[in-house]
Structure 1
């Protein structure tokens, strides 16, 4: 298990909870994805699985069989593949995405089925829908969170590498090799990607502030700190004069 994933909050069974999974009444909602958490991870270039920072360079995500087949074919003939369609799935570290593809009940086998339905960007994915044959972990040269004609979401740049698989066992050698250079050992995930949704909401609201609002908030914080220092100095002075 990658170091960053091992450090994640756990559910009652001891399973680590991904950074983009929302919590409700102290329990992780594994079948759901928090778009607030997705947005914050993209804005701060954080892995959506472990929540730790990603270095500049390629980013990784898991795709289904149809998209995997298309990307593999295009890379095989050395043609550029650009998909401007948004998605609610943000990227992560290579090691984390390999691990996620192996342990996620939906991603790990063709028989895996969706725990909850999804209806985003005009695509209806019903609850219980099977993953089907094939899948891949794909590296992209870049990504962004954009407002598009069908709504806000994550848009990826050009794919540059693909790791095809069908079942979790197919990825064992890839995971073993990846763990020898585990990208998740440095840094740590922020508290707002933990189990407290109030912290997530506060971080999201701060991220949505305009530059002017951020400057005003920073000025208020500095003023409050200055008042606190003055009060502390005045208190020390009164003690000295007694």
Structure 2
């Protein structure tokens, strides 16, 4: 990850990134605009949403069996669920920042968004179902953080809803 960030390389193939960077994120990352993984090339991201079992099978669970002993949890609050849809978030800029012992990425403003489900373009209903099922998890965290966090989350949710396909 450090090499990808320091040298602006694709998270999937390791080659240099161009002008645009694409984050492969779930619906709640579209709300909070945070990712635990650095960006990729669009072609690499498209391959991921069409080939990765976790991204193409909404009922798939994360495989945490036989994880290397040196593996660590990603920074931030990871929602351990399959969101059912995946978003390719194309941006010109992103901003890494320290979070605990790790790094997270503010994904910047989108130049383009593409929603996928089961390796194909997602329907509006699929995207809304994913947002509706994940939002209570973010809301519960915001409730613990207080009224200002709830207000900010509501604003972020409203902004994310503008990205839902028609």
Residues 1-242 of structure 1 correspond to what in structure 2 (within 5 A)?
A: 38-55=1-18, 57-68=19-30, 70=31, 83=33, 85=34, 87-116=35-64, 119-126=73-80, 129=81, 131-148=82-99, 151-170=102-121
> 2:45 aligns to what SS in structure 1?
helix
Distance 1:122 1:46, change over 3 A: closer
Distance in 1, matches of 2:48 and 2:5, equals 18
Unaligned runs of 5+ in 1: 1-37, 71-81, 172-242
List gaps (5 residues or longer) in structure 2.
66-71, 123-166
RMSD of the TM alignment (CA)? 2.7
CA contact (8 A) 1:140 1:157 kept: yes
Give the number of the structure whose alpha-carbon radius of gyration is greater: 1
CA shift digits 1:127-158 (9 cap, x unpaired): xx4x1332211112212333356743333221
CA distance in 1: counterparts of 2:76 and 2:41, whole angstroms: 28
Deviation at residue 111 of structure 1 after TM alignment = 1.6
User: Partners of 2:26 and 2:64 in 1: how far apart?
Assistant: 17
Q: For 1:99 and 1:61, locate their aligned partners in 2 and report how far apart those are by CA, in whole Å.
A: 13
Cα contact 1:42–1:144 (8 A) shared by 2: no
Count, aligned residues: 116
Identify if the C-alpha distance between structure 1 residues 133 and 125 changes in structure 2 by more than 3 Å, giving closer, same or farther. Answer: closer
* TM-score normalised by the chain length of structure 2: 0.58
Alpha-carbon contact 1:144-1:154 (below 8 Å) kept: yes
- 1:226 aligns with none
